[in-house]
Chain A
Amino acid sequence: MSGTMRNPLLEVTDLVTEFATRKGILRAVDKVSFAIEAGEIVGLVGESGSGKSVTGFSILGLIDPPGRIAGGSVRLGGRELVGLPPAQLRAIRGKAISMVFQDPSATLNPVLTIGTQMHLAIAAHEKTSEAAARARAAEVLARVGIPDARSRLDAHPHQFSGGMRQRVAIAIALLNRPSLIICDEPTTALDVSIQAQILAEMKALARDLGTAMIWISHDLATVSSLARRILVMYAGRIIEQGPVADVLRHPRHPYTAGLIASLPANAEPGRELRQIPGATPSLFDLPPGCAFAPRCAFSSAACAQAPALHHAGPRGWRCHHPRGMEEAR
């Protein structure tokens, strides 16, 4: 979308995902567009209800009724994924694109050994002997930092700690050497010391294997330490994007600026934090125009019209009153 990417690995254009509910149609993802290069780590940031996870699910075609992808396109290596028959999507999921979720217990089958589950994950996409599958599984487990990997293949999920279970889920996601992994808050449920280990490993993995990653998170600090580029979502739309350090230093959108300013690290201890007033709007009851306007200190009459996407080099924002434009010059 910035027009500078020549051969993007993934290209999402005007993606719209809706859910039919008793209260009406809920548009969780509203004309989302972005592209990812091979091997690139992109952080997708937003609060609950911003549509960040649904964007991830939509890329994988994991939207079940009453939800549907109501418009737009998702291209992987030039191939359109929206509207593909389920069998063809299944061949892509877990092979070319895989996903890691927040709760590894929900991914892993409690009654099968790790080895069996990993064998099944390989067998779903290629013919292989059990011995070869085990060897590959052990290799990948060792790669994600599980000690004594070969013997751990015979263990069941409950025999692993929370951090180790998440490593197993990551190993399964890596098994078929995907070109893209979508990570949906994979370290949110983990303790900081374990999170740090997994972040360090994911970073090394992406570098060594050339795997691209979409890292979905609400935590700006985690994203800033991992990703090269950041997409900020609010009420179903991407409202700001660009290189991480640049966006965090000079946010353009007042929402991004507000999130950064509200961090305790950016205030003097004991002093009031800079807070964003109000609450995230209900998707059923979005204000017309810019969805952030009611909470925004800079809103004006112009904000009743939805702001278009503005570009400046690698940066992009949807705001009539962008911040910090003076410093940029």
Chain B
Amino acid sequence: MTPLVLAQNVSKRFAPRLGLGERIAAKLGSPVETRTVHAVDNVSLAIAKGEVLGLVGESGCGKSTLGRVIAGIHPPSAGQVTIGGESVMREGRKSTTRIQTVFQDPFASLDPRIRIGEAIAEGPLAHGLMRKADARAEVARWLDAVGLPAEAAERFPHQFSGGQRQRVAIARALAMQPDILVCDEPVASLDVSIQAQIVNLFLKLRRELGLTMLFISHDLGIVRHISDRIAIMYLGRIVETGETEAVFAAPRHPYTRALLDSVPKLVTDSEELVSFKAIAGELPSPLSPPPGCHFHLRCPHAQAVCREIVPASDSQGGMHPVACHFPLIS
């Protein structure tokens, strides 16, 4: 497979701004302890054309940061992201329109004073992807693609419900005619009955437009439903990747196993009382992640080597890749 999008050894570090005292101390030449957050730590990912890759993890694991690096919003601190062989970034700026993003909060991504039609046409006009004379028809076409009437173009964001606003945000991303859509928790802030509508919209768009997607979510049920492959992230690193059903059926990383077990299932049998199992311990601070495998503090299978050596991603025996010294055998 020739991947459409390739992230190679991507890292993203954030250094918190130093306080006044620390800055003065640094000027005076005394050593200042810099606390860097390794939001994304040496991650490599490939997304094939037409594929939906689900990126899963808990808050603070770096999944949104990785999504933003792939979408060309944040420059990586190391490594690079390419789409069809071209770099997504040039000189610290996004240099392609082939990748677009849909965010969690559609209200934050729409200017409240700009009509929806203008908001959708703005990007393609600026990039010469649409002629001014065609704008009205093009906007109507994309509104139709997301299930909104053409009249919606004349309205303002506050005149739409949350689910409709997310449709607008999707239409806006699609109008740029991207090859890949990065969706960052696109249904997380919607009501349950509306979530299904938006998930179905993504399935339809994928079918009709052959869209490639990176679908970032903490909701394992939705990711399982929509993704061909999934990648599980823990504290800045990808610990497991594989075909969705293979990972759900037989997770190889103890964290993936624990994460799957901790989601409550719908109990429809009154005899069955426990539908979930908790993971021991808390997520360590990304400011001072534990050495070796980041999960060793909470892992029931951890041994001495896990505290010292970062496990490499391994796909022995034709299994899907996992970064663990003692992968689970099922």
Contacts and interface: CB of A to CB of B under 8 A. Distances in A.
Interface of A: 47-48, 161, 163-164, 191-197, 199-200, 218-222, 224-226, 243-246, 248-249, 258-260, 262-267, 269-277, 279-280
B270 A273 contact: no
Contacts of B194: 279
B259 A192 contact: yes
Given A258-B193, A280-B191, A196 B266 contact: no
A224 B199 contact: no
B283 interface: yes
Interface string B205-229: 0000000000000101110111000
Interface string B256-267: 001101111111
Contact of A248 (B195, B222, B268): B268
B216 to A, nearest CB: 15
Given A222-B264, A248-B267, 13 more contacts: A161-B282, A163-B282, A196-B264, A225-B273, A246-B270, A248-B266, A265-B266, A269-B225, A269-B245, A270-B225, A275-B197, A279-B161, A279-B194
B225 A280 contact: no
26 contacts: A163-B282, A164-B282, A191-B59, A191-B218, A192-B218, A193-B259, A193-B279, A193-B283, A196-B264, A196-B276, A200-B278, A220-B266, A225-B267, A226-B264, A245-B268, A262-B192, A263-B221, A270-B203, A272-B200, A272-B203, A272-B204, A273-B199, A273-B225, A275-B196, A279-B161, A280-B191
Contacts of A275: 193, 196-197, 200
A191 B283 CA distance: 10
A191 B200 contact: no
A156 B287 CA distance: 20
Nearest to A272: B200
B244 interface: yes
A221 B275 contact: yes
A224 B279 contact: no
B269 interface: yes
B268 A249 contact: yes
Contacts of B276: 196, 199-200, 225
Contacts of B163: 279
A220 B265 CA distance: 9
Contacts of A161: 282-283
How big is the B interface, by class?
A: 35 or more
B274 interface: yes
Nearest to A273: B196
**Which of A196, A226, A271, A274 is most buried by chain B, counting CB atoms within 10 A of its CB?**
A196
B136 interface: no
Nearest to B272: A245
Nearest to B198: A275
B259 A265 contact: no
B58 A191 contact: yes
B93 interface: no
A260 B267 CA distance: 11
Contacts of B282: 161, 163-164, 194
Contacts of A266: 266
B242 to A, nearest CB: 14
Interface string B59-99: 10000000000000000000000000000000000000000
Nearest to B221: A264
Nearest to B276: A196
Given A192-B263, A222-B264, A262 B244 contact: no
B131 interface: no
B35 interface: no
B158 interface: no
A196 B277 contact: yes
A218 B192 CA distance: 7
Given A191-B58, A193-B278, A273-B225, A225 B192 contact: no
Contacts of B164: 279
A245 B200 contact: no
A88 B273 CA distance: 39
B275 A269 contact: no
A259 B259 contact: no
A157 to B, nearest CB: 16
A274 B203 CA distance: 13
Contact of B225 (A224, A244, A267): A267
A270 B226 CA distance: 5
Nearest to A266: B266
A208 to B, nearest CB: 15
Contacts of B193: 47, 258-259, 262, 275-276, 280
